[in-house]
Structure 1
């Protein structure tokens, strides 16, 4: 699992362009180090939340003292207020931030891996930055991003930052990981060093573009050709849904990056999703759901966690399930853009979490009698995965005929 070589090559090319831009008028290591230092000062906002060997820190300054061997250094402030200095190359900043991009370029200039293991894979229980007492104005509504949800509390982060806080409020059954929650704050306090907030939930919404998530990678996997697909027996008419797909001709194939915190790269059949499914099958639903929530808390881009959370409540609460599926769908769509015309085949297994979210979302739309929206989703599924391993072609006609879910044909 993870990024394919083509995506990595493009990332490295982009870093090389950034390095060239920074060092274009600098000659020798000393001048280039000063150029990097100036670039950080001009383009990276400080203080910034970061990590050093897994410890949450605030990066308060980036310096160069003329010692070429030492290179650029950062002054880091711990949660207890103490400060220390480390090399810039040892600091990890939020993945989608400008600072992370500049550190990656600097590491590449040093002939180091621009993306060390700590930036690529996050554990399910890693330490995180916490909301400070002065981060929240109790006189104004607060916008939080839900990361994981329990019956009486939700682990959240402040919208626009990576700082976490636990929300205690009623109506949490309406909240799913990835949703933005607007809260009228009541009381703020700390217990055991962790920040808490109580308040009244005023509204929830799904707006993935506002979450500042790094889009999942798309790896090019060759060309898909409709001439190589099976469209029925010879002499049989082509189904209507397939005609525009065939007429469009060959299209590029892609595989979407799959994020799965806590996976074992040496054992692809031993991962948190499998553990959750095993617990669910054993009747331990609470523990199974807890694992999925922890995955979302570690990285909201774990699409399979969203799809399986939707599956948990699909049978009895489609109005809740649809929120889980939609968050996963919208996160995946960040990678596609509005003009994506490629194919995401089911046979490339890392595409499956996204396609599962799309399928679940379409089924919920149907159950909620939002027929036109459901038809659009099923048509999009067929366009993205013409081999239709999920059977969208068998659903689309009933949806377009506005046949209620309860009246559908069941084999």
Structure 2
């Protein structure tokens, strides 16, 4: 599963990024950006190659299976049919990272829907979160198989081919956070910020909360994708 380098758009942190003009941006945001450790690391690395993740449906029409599943879910609100459709997509093409990511989202949504604090409720909630974690881990692993060893490049959100991988990585961080493994959640967030410093998903807002070991349940989290 090769990855292709997007030779026309290397990532230059000094040309795009978080070195904000205080005359154009909120002063508080400017001060915050200057203190972000992850952003300092990105700037120190300088210009890096920008890569595209492989398309699991090369040569196919724009009507991909996941799009149909999402459209059907919106029309019918049938969660069971949606879950079955995601499984069929995963079984038919394991390289569809977005199917793994959305399967994780669906499992986390089921966890959020469990109410109460009884032992049964806690078991159901934990089982759904663990299921989500497995989906996200698989999606991330599939994506990493397409990257060169010791990958140091950037995978920008602006390239739509990269978005499924970012969705899976975001979900992975949320699952670890939900399970209370703050160290793994922080590592996942920092890695995502390294490969997509523009941070279109708002992960920079999650990172200080995770590092402060604030429980997931005390924060309203959106998938941002």
TM bucket normalised to smaller: 0.7 to 0.9
Give the deviation of 1:278 after TM superposition.
1.6
1:382/1:314 Cα in 2 relative to 1: closer, same or farther (>3 Å)? same
The alignment's C-alpha RMSD in Å is 1.9
Give the aligned partner of residue 124 of structure 2: none
Give the aligned partner of residue 65 of structure 2: 272
Give the aligned partner of residue 307 of structure 1: 101
4+ aligned runs moved over 6 Å, structure 1: none
Paired with 1:233 and 1:337, the residues of 2 have a C-alpha distance of 32
Q: Superposition pairs for residues 246-395 of structure 1, below 5 Å? A: 246-260=43-57, 264-265=60-61, 268=62, 270-281=63-74, 282-315=76-109, 316=111, 317-395=128-206
1:400/1:350 Cα in 2 relative to 1: closer, same or farther (>3 Å)? same
The runs of 5 or more residues in structure 2 that have no matched partner are: 23-29, 112-127
The runs of 5 or more residues in structure 1 that have no matched partner are: 1-214
TM-score (norm 2): 0.79
Aligned length: 192
Paired with 1:287 and 1:379, the residues of 2 have a C-alpha distance of 35
Give the deviation of 1:390 after TM superposition.
0.9
1:239 aligns with 2:35: yes
Paired with 1:283 and 1:410, the residues of 2 have a C-alpha distance of 22
Give the aligned partner of residue 25 of structure 2: none
1:369/1:218 Cα in 2 relative to 1: closer, same or farther (>3 Å)? same
Q: Deviations over 1:43-90 (max 9, x none)?
A: xxxxxxxxxxxxxxxxxxxxxxxxxxxxxxxxxxxxxxxxxxxxxxxx
Secondary structure of 2:49's counterpart equals strand
Given that residues 52 and 162 in structure 2 are in contact (C-alpha distance below 8 angstroms), is that contact kept between their aligned partners in structure 1?
yes
Give the deviation of 1:322 after TM superposition.
0.8
Give the deviation of 1:232 after TM superposition.
4.8
Q: Superposition pairs for residues 6-405 of structure 1, below 5 Å? A: 215=1, 217-222=2-7, 223-235=10-22, 236-237=30-31, 238-240=34-36, 241-260=38-57, 264-265=60-61, 268=62, 270-281=63-74, 282-315=76-109, 316=111, 317-405=128-216
1:397/1:325 Cα in 2 relative to 1: closer, same or farther (>3 Å)? same
Paired with 1:377 and 1:280, the residues of 2 have a C-alpha distance of 29
Secondary structure of 2:50's counterpart equals strand
Give the deviation of 1:318 after TM superposition.
1.5
Q: Indicate the structure (1 or 2) with the bigger Cα radius of gyration.
A: 1
Paired with 1:264 and 1:331, the residues of 2 have a C-alpha distance of 20
Given that residues 54 and 146 in structure 2 are in contact (C-alpha distance below 8 angstroms), is that contact kept between their aligned partners in structure 1?
no
Paired with 1:299 and 1:239, the residues of 2 have a C-alpha distance of 42
Structure with higher strand content = 1
Paired with 1:298 and 1:406, the residues of 2 have a C-alpha distance of 35
Given that residues 321 and 364 in structure 1 are in contact (C-alpha distance below 8 angstroms), is that contact kept between their aligned partners in structure 2?
yes
Relative contact order, higher structure (CA 8 A, sep 6+): 2
Give the deviation of 1:287 after TM superposition.
2.5
Give the deviation of 1:289 after TM superposition.
2.2
